[in-house]
């Protein structure tokens, strides 16, 4: 987050939170919303792009599909042993392997992407976080320089913040 | 033994006698380790190992290469030739000797299981002396020297009060025992329950010579058989079976009519089993004789004979016979008709049914029938007789002498009268009375009974001194079962225990009194020197001897024509239904019939786990004895399957499990002989819960002077405790699945072989099925096995061979009951028609080595797969034990190692070092004896050729008495299997339904349509 | 519970805070009852473990399976537990995709059940094999034997399917748990708990960007889990359908198994949910309507399963295959007929009662019925596995079966093992999805109309 | 602690890999036992594993990790197994110095699947006359005499211990022209025989593949 200070506003209501976000966006300030639950309206207010996780997923899935088939076929060809007159590389049987590998690698890729984009695990950096944010409160954290503290605090209060505090930014 | 002069025949065809005995006992045991040949210990890793090379070199022994020794099987008096495989100094397999004409290479289960007598963990390991300490009598080891000294002292004192009781002996041993007994003025008696004495005596009456003739089953077109179990234990079962099978395979298809109150294995293989009322065999025989004679047969015989026969049969009324025997008039006429129409026929009597009260009468009429049918000289060869010496009268005489104190020293060898003589004979009583008398005469410290048993059987247990004899596989000797057959017995390995040759012991005991020979081997050689003189060989004796050893003996059929002289006794025949029971006979009770089976014989085989675990061919029972009872009778007495029955009469009682079957006459309860040992080792004692059936039999013998096996009555009473008969197969019907198929042959008359009508199920049998996948190519070899059901008798010899060859453990009754027997090869037995038109089918079932094997693709680790030679390979060490393959196996031939099985010391010495012993948790199955295939390929490669037909024989194929199995390369169009494959009888089991493409081809059974 | 009481629950106003209150109350230090339950579960699992040890030491012989029934209780248990697992994924993933709101309060428990049931199921193939210490040979890894597993074997498909299933459902489960653990972390007072939750929540704070990725990923997981759940039980059914055993070799098996799995799984969810709801007073969250929805799912799947049973008989008759025909004669009239009729009653007849609404909405009745269905589904697998194997092609080798105490101990032990994880889970992690319940609740707003401007 | 882990968490797998390497390094050199041998006879130039197939390794990926089976199993099954023998028989003396043929003693190698260890008789054939020069030699040769006199076989320690389910045929290999050292290494260079190749299945297979010979399982396992 840009800025040396972080101003934390605690909200009880979603519409207030959205207001605060919008005013921060207007002021071109860097902000961060903490919410106990994802919300369509909030998402609409904050986000601009779709999550790129899905690209990782499809990459993983394609790798899994080809890898699964490749594993089965190459392993069978490496030490060719006939079973019951079936072909050494009997593709119909390997569909299951390919299928399961698609899902496995797809899921693992998704998980990796999720962790990557969410910067998880992220145990120690919680600027402006308040335990109530996992309960029923919303939090809007705005990053600013020391000079802007009052101005930003006022913005949050205007939006309907119940509490505003100032923390050291990162 | 310092000089065991082993002579080998090996692939290198070396002959001659080995000079010095360079294998001490130690080295034999330790040489096992040589070059890791201890192979057969476990599948599991054993980390640190040692190698113990021989101390001295052995020119004939290459570690890892088997040596084969020829010898003779002395398990029963048939004396088949054997070949014994020796690896690193231990005998590992017994097979038939092709050059010996008795069995021509086949060998029964008992002969193969002789190894389990050799390595029996309960063998007597050293000389023993009975020490009586108050009430308790125990055996204490004693040195050979001391033992001999004691026995010699007794011999000196005995002074004519000496008796020698042996089993059937022939050749040098017979001479030695006779000479020995004579030198002491003793009496000699021979006792063996199974000897066909009645038949021998009848021959004397009708043909003029005492003995059982040699029967040529191959030639006979029709066989009428009164109870002789000629495919099981009778006279020379393997030889008989081989001849019979040749007759079956020949285009005239011998027809067998079997008359017996129960369905024996022989009856099951007959074209027609006629279930008669017990004891009515003689009437039927007379009726057949009357019919045939009435039709004018026997006209070429002398007028005297003809007249007397007419007189003999004049009172016989066929309708009465039909009524009293339960065999209908039409059937009697039908049998007679077939006998009349055949060029060569054969009439037999014997076995259990032939051992009723009128045994001699039956045997005599049988012989007369052969005479009338002009079979003497064609199918009945009276120039080659087996002469049984086992007469119950002799034994009784010895017992009386014992009782009266006229015998103070009794030697017993090769027979177990305490078990095989009914207790009514009072063997034990006579012994104790002799003992009392001896004590009174102040000779009580001297031994009364000296046993030469190598196992502690019931008789040996009563001995004062046991001088354990070598097993015949450790000993020298010879056998002369019938004229023209002189076969040799030679040691195939150093003795396992501290035992001595029986002959050596006798020679030592006799001092110089009997023979000049320094040991039994030279005694035998001396006998053979005489034979050498008679034979008139151009070779020197030592060369001839070596040649005989290599061949297994000297075989030359004597073909002297023998004149038939019919004695007047022959017409003195009176039917008598029952054995005379001195006491307590009750008419309402059932006839007891006891019979020797391929599993136990007379009880001598009870200590062989292979045979105990071998399912009885007909009942499929293991590790047990049983009472065959007809359902009606069972209902009458309130018995059902799963019950135990107590058979009781004046003489004793026996508790056996019930086996309810339609295949026994309602008046009969049939119990096999030979179980219920109170001694004779752990394996025999495992079946001790059932009684010895002979305890129901009275002292009175058959008219022929042999022990009765039928005709005694007893009352069945339901036992309070249930008793489960463990059987490996409980479903009897094929459910119309056409698994074991039969082709019925209708022969109208002689010369017209009729048209062959099959039961007509050839779905997919010959036409090529369209395959989903490209079929496997087999570039060089494609191994295949053919099973000719027409020749298969279901005897189980192949099963035993498989156990022996492939280190298959026997698991015991309990585990078999759980369905966990380990047999790789089983013989399925199906009863398909109602009892009246019974068709018994035997279907040997081993791994079918399918080309489209269902077991292969389901294994996740390739523990089983298809190899280039058409084998369905099983790799034990790769198996993780998912058991999916077994589920998916259509033929259910895969076996799983539920436990780690132990081979009690020293039985592990029998294990084949070429086959991995499997560990717990892995699957196993028939491999077509891959070790033999590999060996065959190795030999062929060394000789720079490909494997030829006949080079490789899996154990089952080798052992089959009837050559029903053949093995070879299907790619070789000239091989036996390829030819068989194209026979019109060929089919593959279940292939038409599930397209498994098996490598095993069956050939339909052939039956004569009655 | 009556409909009036249900209405009461409906009326109870639940807000964001109340959700946290109700759910996180479950994590309060346990009482004696919980410890006793845990002890019971661990004890039973230990008995199972000892039985397995006996089996490993002595060989498979101590189990009751024998020639020709080579697969027995262990594989029955395997299929049973995989089946149980399935409804969890169905509720969490499939219903998520269908936006079925009734899933929200029950899905966490269902998913925990999935993971633990797969953990239980996964043990059985290893318990079942003859040489469990070589189970790793089924994995394709480069080794000094230069050997690979056989990819054509249905058992290898199982290895892939079950391990994928376990991985994916565990990931799905854990990802779903992260925000809830964060909530628990923020409420935790005990230091150790706080520390553990801090670590396990991976520092989740509910940042708006994270929520964006989270929702995207969650949807993708659901999208993966849905075909996976269908494939896994299909693959399990192929263990049988790929065999040629009469009674196994049928194309109907995959759909039939999947339906059966959902059937048994939903029943198991009901079995578990009813007592937990009662003990932890979750009535405001887990309402009667949720149970009714599940009951309807049972009605549907019971119908499918019944249809499959009938079809099996029809196919056997129509195929004119003597082996199949005999097999399907044998099932209702042969040695194991009790199992067949038990199965028919439990799976086909008993669920018919749910067509009657008062029974469908009666919690006690549902609880009893769910147990009946679980028994029925175990018997179904018994029927498929044992009965088919006991009557195959060759009459000479037809056989029977005897239970052994080892198999019994291991079967019971599996329930203990599963129960142990469940017991631990409900005390250590939020067993009801806090975030997801909040997601279907109306968010707190100052002005009802304010959001509509956006 | 947590921050530390946080910082270096990427290095954890590396740490484990290093640990395995360190273990393999340490244990493979812990079995040094040949001080006396070193004194007596120095190794000539070529190494004992010269000419061994694939350097005795099972496969390409077999980076001495999987192959060093003795971390997980018995040392007897691994390369470098060098058991002490009841008699300190030296192949250097016999084969290298005195130019004896392998098959003089291991005579059955062309006749059987097993390569026989010579009988005591074979040893005595020479050692009735050759009694040794050094004290050590005299002592060891006297031991043979003892075995000979007592009729006891010599309990040689097996160097190439194979599981019993492996059926290896010496005859076929020797007749096909496989040199002894392909599997056993430069025996003439060894004073105490040592196992130089892994003799793992992958090792056999790699050679069989290279030679175009059968890789059917039934060739060796039955």
In Å, what is the CA distance from B796 to each residue of B84, B244, B574? 20, 17, 39
- Look up the pTM and report it: 0.90
Q: Band the pLDDT of B761: cuts 50, 70, 90.
A: very low
Facing residues of B652 across strands?
A: B649
pLDDT of residue D21: 58
Q: CA-to-CA distance for B646 and B661, rounded, in angstroms?
A: 18
Report residue C192 as tokens.
Answer: 């150790």
From B232-246, B539-553, B917-931, D49-63, the region with the lowest mean pLDDT: D49-63
Residues of B in contact with C125 (CB under 8 A): 882
Q: Is the pLDDT of residue C282 over 80?
A: yes
Give me the domain span that covers residue D56.
Answer: 45-85+159-222
Taking the CA of residue C242 and the nearest CA in chain D, the distance in Å comes to 25
How near does any CA of chain C get to the CA of B997, in Å? 14
Contacting residues of D for A82, CB less than 8 Å apart: none
Contacts of B859 in chain A (CB under 8 A): 83
pLDDT digits (tens, 9 = 90+) for C223-265: 999 999 899 999 999 999 999 999 999 999 999 999 999 899 8
**Rounded Cα–Cα distance for residues B480 and B487 (Å):** 6
**Contact between chains at D205 and C144 (C-beta distance less than 8 A):** no
Domain that holds residue C82: 10-137+150-162+226-440
Query: Are the Cβ atoms of B866 and A85 closer than 8 angstroms?
Result: yes
| B562: Cβ contacts below 8 Å, ≥ 6 apart | B207, B208, B209, B382, B383
* Average confidence (pLDDT) over B136-164: 90
Ranking B933-937, C86-90, D135-139, D166-170 by mean pLDDT, the lowest is C86-90
Tell me, yes or no, whether D139 lies in a domain. Answer: no
Domain count, chain C: 1
Interface pTM, i.e. ipTM:
0.88
Tell me the count of C-D CB pairs closer than 8 A.
27
pLDDT of residue C154: 93
Measuring CA to CA, how many Å separate A86 from each of A93, B652, B864, B969, C62? 10, 65, 14, 23, 36
Nearest to B858 among C67, C131, C154 (CB): C154
Note the pLDDT of residue C6.
43
The reply to whether C206 falls in a domain is no
Q: What percent of chain D is predicted at pLDDT more than 90?
A: 12
Is the model's pLDDT at D31 over the cut of 80?
no
Residue B225's DSSP bridge partners are B258, B348
User: What's the Cα-to-Cα distance from A50 to each of A109, C213, C302, rounded to whole Å?
Assistant: 17, 8, 41
DSSP, collapsed to helix, strand or coil, labels residue B912 as coil
Give the domains, in start order, of chain B with CATH numbers.
128-194+390-466 (3.40.50.740), 197-386 (3.40.228.10), 590-718 (2.40.40.20), 742-761+782-1008 (3.30.70.20)
Inter-CA distances, B867 with A79, B182, B891, Å: 13, 66, 20
CB contact under 8 A, C398 and B730: yes
Q: What is the average pLDDT across B350-356?
A: 83
Assess B730–C contact: CB distance below 8 Å, yes or no. yes
pLDDT higher for C439 or B765? C439
Instruction: Indicate which CATH number applies to the domain containing C309.
Output: 1.20.1630.10
- Classify the C-alpha dihedral D128-D134-D140-D143 as positive or negative: positive
CA distance linking residue B349 with residue B353, whole number of Å: 8
pLDDT tens for each residue of C51-108: 999 999 999 999 988 889 999 899 999 999 999 998 888 888 888 888 887 788 888 8
Mean pLDDT of B335-345: 91
Q: Do C203 and A93 touch (CB under 8 A)?
A: no
For chain C, say whether B729 makes contact (Cβ under 8 Å). yes
Residue ranges, CATH 3.30.70.120, chain A: 5-50+125-168
The answer on pLDDT for A11 being more than 50 is yes
Least confident of B540-549, B622-631, C26-35, C384-393: C26-35
Q: Are strands B840-845 and B826-831 parallel, antiparallel or unpaired?
A: antiparallel
Decide: residue D80, CB within 10 A, 0-12 exposed, 13-18 middle, 19+ buried.
middle
| Cα(C17)–Cα(A135) distance, integer angstroms | 6
pLDDT at B757: 45
Average pLDDT over residues C4-32: 71
Average confidence (pLDDT) over B387-406: 89
Distance from CA of C208 to the nearest CA of D (A): 24
Sign of CA dihedral C29, C32, C34, C40: positive
Sign of CA dihedral D11, D14, D16, D22: negative
Is D114 in Cβ contact with B35 (below 8 Å)?
A: yes
* B403 to B398, B446, B461, B464, C163: CA distances (angstroms): 9, 17, 19, 17, 82
Tokens of B854: 């269902």
Q: Does A83 contact B854 at a Cβ distance shorter than 8 Å?
A: no
CB contact under 8 A, A120 and C161: no
Find the mean pLDDT for residues B156-184.
Answer: 90
User: Shortest Cα distance from B774 to chain A (angstroms)?
Assistant: 7
Nearest-Cα distance to chain D for C142, in Å, is 7
pLDDT for position C286? 85
Q: How far apart are CA B400 and CA B392, in angstroms?
A: 12
Identify the band that residue D17 occupies on the pLDDT scale cut at 50, 70 and 90: low
Total CB pairs under 8 A between chain A and D: 8
Structurally, how many domains does chain D consist of?
Answer: 1
CA distance C111 to chain B (A): 29
pLDDT per residue as tens digits for the range C33-43? 999 999 999 99
- Compute the nearest-CA separation of C58 from chain D (Å): 22
CA distance C236 to B680: 53
CA B369 and chain centroid, separation = 28
Q: How many CA atoms lie within 13 A of D173 on its CB side?
A: 21
- C50, C439 contact by CB (below 8 A): no
Q: Of A85, A87, A93, which is closest to B851 when you measure between CB atoms? A: A85
How high is the mean pLDDT of chain B? 85
Contact list in C for residue B876 (CB cut-off 8 A) is: none
Residue C450's pLDDT is 65
Q: Which helix (H) or strand (E) holds D185?
A: none
Please write the tens of the pLDDT for every residue from B769-797: 677 777 778 888 999 999 999 999 999 99
- Is B771 in Cβ contact with A84 (below 8 Å)? no
Decide if pLDDT at A29 tops 80: yes
Q: Are strands B128-133 and B136-141 parallel, antiparallel or unpaired?
A: antiparallel
Q: Render pLDDT for B425-481 as a digit per residue (tens, 0 to 9).
A: 889 899 988 888 888 888 778 888 999 999 999 999 999 999 999 999 999 999 999
Cβ–Cβ under 8 Å, residues C188 and C197: yes
| D103 domain residue, yes or no | no
pLDDT above 60 for B813: yes
Confidence of residue B19 (pLDDT cuts 50, 70, 90): very low
Please check whether residue D70 lies inside any domain of the structure: yes
Is residue B562 over pLDDT 90?
Answer: no
CA distance B720 to B706: 35
Residues 6+ apart with CB under 8 A from C307: none
* CA B166 from centre of chain: 20
Q: Is the distance from CB of B613 to CB of B205 less than 8 angstroms? A: no
Which residues of chain D does B934 touch, with a Cβ-Cβ cutoff of 8 Å?
A: 167, 218, 222
Q: Is residue D131 part of a domain?
A: no
- Is residue D132 assigned to a domain? no
Q: How far is residue C261's CA from residue C284's CA, in Å, rounded to a whole number?
A: 29
Whether domain A5-50+125-168 has CATH 3.90.1300.10:
no
Mutate to test the interface with A, among B773, B875, B888 (most CBs of A within 10 A): B773
List the structure tokens of B474: 């450790």
pLDDT of res. B557: 64
Q: What is the pLDDT of residues B816-832, one digit of tens each?
A: 998 899 999 999 999 98
What distance in Å separates the CA atoms of residue B8 and residue B546, rounded to the nearest whole number?
Answer: 10
Interface mutation vs chain A, best among C211, C229, C233, C441, most A CBs within 10 Å: C211
pLDDT digits (tens, 9 = 90+) for A96-139: 999 999 999 999 999 999 999 988 888 776 777 888 888 888 88
Provide the 8-state DSSP code for A64: H
Q: What is the pLDDT of residue C117?
A: 94
| Phi, psi angle pair for B777, to nearest 5° | -90, 140
Give the integer Cα–Cα distance in Å for B225 and B196.
Answer: 14
Q: CB A87 to CB B774 under 8 A?
A: yes
- Give the separation between CA C151 and CA A117, rounded to whole angstroms: 36
Mean pLDDT in residue range D47-62: 73
Eight-class DSSP state of C321:
-
Could you tell me if residue D106 is left (phi over 0), alpha (psi between -120 and 50 degrees) or otherwise beta?
beta
> Which of B389, B881, B491 minimizes the C-alpha distance to C137?
B881
Tell me, yes or no, whether D25 lies in a domain: no
Q: Chain D within 8 Å of B461 (Cβ-Cβ)?
A: no
Interchain CB contact of B448 with D (< 8 Å): no
**Three-class SS of B833-877:** CCHHHCCEEEEEECCCCCCCCCHHHHCCCCCEEECCCCCEEECHH
Indicate the Cα dihedral angle D197, D201, D203, D206, nearest 10°. 160
Range of lowest pLDDT (B541-550, B623-632, C266-275, C434-443): C434-443
Residue B186 Cα to chain centre, angstroms:
33
């Amino acid at each position: 987050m840009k800025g040396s200070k972080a101003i934390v506003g605690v909200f009880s209501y979603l519409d207030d939170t959205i207001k605060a976000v919008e005013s921060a966006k207007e002021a071109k300030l860097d902000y961060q919303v903490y919410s106990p639950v994802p919300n369509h309206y909030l998402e609409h207010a904050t986000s601009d792009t779709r999550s790129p996780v899905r690209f990782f997923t499809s990459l993983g899935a394609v790798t899994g599909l080809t890898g699964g088939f490749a594993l089965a076929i190459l392993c069978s060809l490496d030490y060719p042993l006939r079973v019951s007159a079936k072909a050494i590389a009997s593709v119909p049987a390997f569909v299951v392997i390919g299928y399961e590998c698609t899902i496995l690698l797809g899921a693992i890729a998704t998980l990796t992407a999720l962790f990557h984009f969410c910067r998880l695990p992220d145990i120690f950096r919680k600027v402006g976080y308040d335990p109530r944010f996992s309960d029923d409160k919303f939090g809007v954290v705005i990053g600013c320089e020391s000079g802007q503290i009052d101005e930003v605090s006022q913005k949050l209060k205007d939006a309907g913040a119940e509490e505003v505090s100032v923390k050291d930014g990162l | 033994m310092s000089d065991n002069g082993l002579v080998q025949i090996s692939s290198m065809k070396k002959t001659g006698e080995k000079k010095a005995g360079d294998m001490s006992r130690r080295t034999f045991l330790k040489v096992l380790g040589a070059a890791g040949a201890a192979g057969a210990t476990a599948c599991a890793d054993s980390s640190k190992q040692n190698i113990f090379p021989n101390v001295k070199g052995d020119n004939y022994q290459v570690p890892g290469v088997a040596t084969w020794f020829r010898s003779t099987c002395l398990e029963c008096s048939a004396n088949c030739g054997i070949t014994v495989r020796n690896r690193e100094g231990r005998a590992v397999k017994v097979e038939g000797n092709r050059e010996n004409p008795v069995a021509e290479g086949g060998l029964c289960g008992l002969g193969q299981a002789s190894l389990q007598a050799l390595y029996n963990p309960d063998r007597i390991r050293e000389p023993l002396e009975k020490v009586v300490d108050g009430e308790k009598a125990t055996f204490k080891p004693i040195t050979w020297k001391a033992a001999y000294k004691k026995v010699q002292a007794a011999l000196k004192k005995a002074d004519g009060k000496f008796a020698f009781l042996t089993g059937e002996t022939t050749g040098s041993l017979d001479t030695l025992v006779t000479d020995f007994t004579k030198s002491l003025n003793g009496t000699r008696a021979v006792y063996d329950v199974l000897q066909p004495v009645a038949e021998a005596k009848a021959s004397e009456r009708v043909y003029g010579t005492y003995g059982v003739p040699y029967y040529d089953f191959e030639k006979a077109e029709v066989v009428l058989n009164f109870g002789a179990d000629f495919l099981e234990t009778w006279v020379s079962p393997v030889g008989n079976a081989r001849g019979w099978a040749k007759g079956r395979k020949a285009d005239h298809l011998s027809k067998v009519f079997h008359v017996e109150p129960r369905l024996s294995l022989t009856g099951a293989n007959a074209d027609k089993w006629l279930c008669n009322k017990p004891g009515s065999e003689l009437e039927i025989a007379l009726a057949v004789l009357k019919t045939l004679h009435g039709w004018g047969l026997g006209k070429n015989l002398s007028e005297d004979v003809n007249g007397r026969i007419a007189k003999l049969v004049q009172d016989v009324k066929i309708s009465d016979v039909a009524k009293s025997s339960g065999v209908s008039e039409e059937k009697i006429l039908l049998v007679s008709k077939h006998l009349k129409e055949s060029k060569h026929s054969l009439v037999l009597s014997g076995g259990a049914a032939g051992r009723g009260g009128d045994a001699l009468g039956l045997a005599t009429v049988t012989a007369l029938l052969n005479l009338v049918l002009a079979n003497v000289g064609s199918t009945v060869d009276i120039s080659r007789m087996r002469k049984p010496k086992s007469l119950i009268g002799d034994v009784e005489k010895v017992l009386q002498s014992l009782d009266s104190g006229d015998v103070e020293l009794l030697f017993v060898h090769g027979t177990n009268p305490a078990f095989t003589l009914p207790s009514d004979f009072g063997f034990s009583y006579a012994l104790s009375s002799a003992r009392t008398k001896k004590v009174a005469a102040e000779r009580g410290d001297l031994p009364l009974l000296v046993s030469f048993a190598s196992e502690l059987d019931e008789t040996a247990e009563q001995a004062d001194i046991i001088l354990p004899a070598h097993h015949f596989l450790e000993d020298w000797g010879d056998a002369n079962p019938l004229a023209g057959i002189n076969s040799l017995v030679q040691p195939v390995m150093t003795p396992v225990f501290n035992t001595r040759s029986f002959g050596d012991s006798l020679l030592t005991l006799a001092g110089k009194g009997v023979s000049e020979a320094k040991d039994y081997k030279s005694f035998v050689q001396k006998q053979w020197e005489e034979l050498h003189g008679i034979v008139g060989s151009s070779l020197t004796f030592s060369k001839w001897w070596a040649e005989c050893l290599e061949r297994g003996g000297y075989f030359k059929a004597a073909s002297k024509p023998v004149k038939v002289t019919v004695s007047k006794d022959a017409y003195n025949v009176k039917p008598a239904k029952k054995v005379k029971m001195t006491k307590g006979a009750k008419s309402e009770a059932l006839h007891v019939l006891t019979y020797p089976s391929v599993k136990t014989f007379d009880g001598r085989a009870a200590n062989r786990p292979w045979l105990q675990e071998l399912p009885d061919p007909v009942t499929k029972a293991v590790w047990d004895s049983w009472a065959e009872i007809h359902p009606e009778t069972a209902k009458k007495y309130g018995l059902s399957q799963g019950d135990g029955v107590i058979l009781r009469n004046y003489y004793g009682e026996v508790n056996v499990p019930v086996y309810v079957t339609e295949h026994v006459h309602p008046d009969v309860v049939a119990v096999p002989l030979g179980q219920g040992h109170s001694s004779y080792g752990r394996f025999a004692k495992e079946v001790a819960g059932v009684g010895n059936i002979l305890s129901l039999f009275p002292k009175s013998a058959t008219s022929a002077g042999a022990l009765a096996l039928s005709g005694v009555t007893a009352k069945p009473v339901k036992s309070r405790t249930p008793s489960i008969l463990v059987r490996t197969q409980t479903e009897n019907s094929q459910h119309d699945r056409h698994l074991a198929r039969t082709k019925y042959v209708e022969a109208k008359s002689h010369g017209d072989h009729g048209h062959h009508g099959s039961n007509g199920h050839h779905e997919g049998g010959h036409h090529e099925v369209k395959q989903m996948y490209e079929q496997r190519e087999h570039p060089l070899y494609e191994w295949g096995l053919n099973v000719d059901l027409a020749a298969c008798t279901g005897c189980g010899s192949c099963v035993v061979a498989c156990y022996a060859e492939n280190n298959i453990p026997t698991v015991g009754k309990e585990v078999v009951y759980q369905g966990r027997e380990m047999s790789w090869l089983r013989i399925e037995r199906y009863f398909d028609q109602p009892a009246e038109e019974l068709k018994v089918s035997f279907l040997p079932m081993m791994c079918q080595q399918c080309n489209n094997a269902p077991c292969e693709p389901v294994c996740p680790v390739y523990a089983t797969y298809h190899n280039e030679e058409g084998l369905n390979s099983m790799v034990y060490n790769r198996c993780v034990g998912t058991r999916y393959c077994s589920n998916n196996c259509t033929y259910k031939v895969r076996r799983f190692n539920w436990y780690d099985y132990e081979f009690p010391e020293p039985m592990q010495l029998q294990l084949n070092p070429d086959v991995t012993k499997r560990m717990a948790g892995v699957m196993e199955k028939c491999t077509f004896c891959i070790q033999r295939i590999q060996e065959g390929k190795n030999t062929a490669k060394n000789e720079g050729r490909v494997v030829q037909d006949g080079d490789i024989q899996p154990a089952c194929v080798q052992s089959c008495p009837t050559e029903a199995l053949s093995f070879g390369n299907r790619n070789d169009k000239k091989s036996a299997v390829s030819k068989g494959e194209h026979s019109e009888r060929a089919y593959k089991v279940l292939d038409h339904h599930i397209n498994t493409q098996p490598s095993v081809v069956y050939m339909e059974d052939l039956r004569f349509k009655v | 519970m009556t409909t009036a009481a249900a209405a009461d629950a409906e009326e109870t106003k639940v807000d964001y805070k109340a959700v946290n209150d109700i759910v996180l109350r479950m994590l309060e230090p346990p009482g004696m009852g919980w410890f006793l339950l845990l002890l019971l579960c661990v004890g039973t699992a230990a008995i199972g473990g000892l039985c397995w040890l006996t089996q490993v030491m002595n060989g498979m012989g101590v189990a009751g399976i024998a020639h020709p029934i080579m697969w027995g209780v262990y594989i029955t248990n395997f299929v049973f537990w995989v089946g149980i697992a399935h409804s969890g994924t169905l509720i969490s993933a499939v219903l998520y995709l269908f936006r079925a709101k009734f899933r929200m309060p029950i899905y966490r428990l269902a998913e925990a059940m999935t993971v633990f049931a797969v953990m239980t199921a996964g043990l059985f193939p290893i318990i079942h094999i003859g040489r469990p210490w070589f189970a790793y040979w089924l994995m394709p890894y480069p080794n000094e034997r230069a050997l690979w597993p056989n990819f054509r074997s249905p058992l290898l498909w199982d290895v892939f399917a079950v391990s994928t299933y376990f991985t994916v459902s565990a990931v799905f489960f854990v990802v779903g748990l992260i925000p809830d653990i964060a909530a628990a972390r923020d409420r935790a007072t005990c230091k150790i708990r706080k520390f553990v939750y801090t670590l396990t929540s991976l520092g989740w704070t509910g940042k708006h960007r994270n929520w964006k990725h989270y929702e995207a990923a969650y949807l993708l997981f659901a999208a993966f889990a849905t075909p996976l759940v269908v494939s896994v039980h299909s693959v399990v059914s192929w263990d049988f359908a790929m065999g040629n055993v009469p009674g196994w070799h049928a194309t109907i098996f995959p759909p039939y198994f999947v339906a059966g799995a959902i059937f048994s799984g939903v029943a198991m969810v009901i079995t578990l949910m009813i007592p937990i709801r009662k003990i932890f007073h979750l009535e405001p969250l887990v309402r009667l309507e949720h149970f009714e929805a599940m009951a309807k799912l049972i009605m549907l799947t019971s119908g499918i399963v019944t249809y499959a049973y009938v079809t099996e008989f029809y196919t056997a008759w129509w195929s004119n295959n003597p082996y199949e025909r005999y097999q399907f004669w044998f099932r209702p009239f042969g040695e194991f007929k009790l199992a067949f009729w038990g199965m028919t009653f439990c799976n086909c007849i008993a669920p018919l009662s749910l067509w009657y609404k008062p029974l469908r909405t009666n919690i006690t009745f549902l609880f009893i019925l769910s147990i009946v269905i679980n028994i029925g589904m175990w018997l179904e697998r018994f029927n498929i596995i044992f009965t088919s194997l006991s009557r195959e092609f060759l009459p000479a080798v037809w056989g029977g079966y005897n239970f052994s105490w080892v198999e019994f101990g291991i079967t019971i032990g599996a329930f203990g093992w599963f129960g142990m994880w469940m017991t631990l889970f409900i005390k250590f992690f939020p067993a009801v999805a806090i975030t997801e319940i909040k997601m279907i609740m109306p968010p707190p707003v100052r002005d009802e109309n304010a959001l509509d401007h956006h | 602690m947590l921050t530390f882990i946080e910082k270096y968490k990427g290095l954890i797998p590396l740490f484990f890999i290093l640990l395995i390497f360190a273990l393999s390094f340490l244990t493979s050199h812990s079995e040094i036992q040949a001080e006396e041998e070193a004194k007596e006879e120095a190794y000539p130039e070529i190494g004992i594993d010269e000419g061994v197939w694939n350097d005795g390794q099972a496969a390409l990926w077999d980076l001495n990790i999987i192959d060093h089976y003795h971390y997980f199993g018995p040392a007897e099954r691994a390369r470098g197994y060098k058991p002490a023998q009841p008699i300190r028989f030296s192949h250097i003396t016999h084969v290298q110095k005195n130019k004896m043929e392998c098959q003089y003693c291991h005579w059955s190698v062309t006749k059987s699947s097993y390569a026989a260890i010579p009988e005591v008789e074979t040893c005595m054939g020479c050692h009735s006359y050759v009694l040794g020069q050094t004290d050590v030699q005299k002592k060891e040769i006297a031991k043979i005499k003892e075995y000979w006199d007592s009729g006891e076989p010599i309990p040689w320690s097996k160097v190439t211990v194979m599981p019993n389910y492996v059926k290896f045929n010496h005859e076929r290999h020797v007749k096909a022209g496989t040199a002894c050292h392909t599997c056993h290494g430069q025996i003439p260079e060894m004073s105490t025989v040592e196992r130089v190749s892994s003799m793992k299945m992958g090792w056999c297979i790699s050679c069989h593949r290279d030679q175009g010979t059968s890789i059917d399982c039934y060739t060796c396992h039955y």
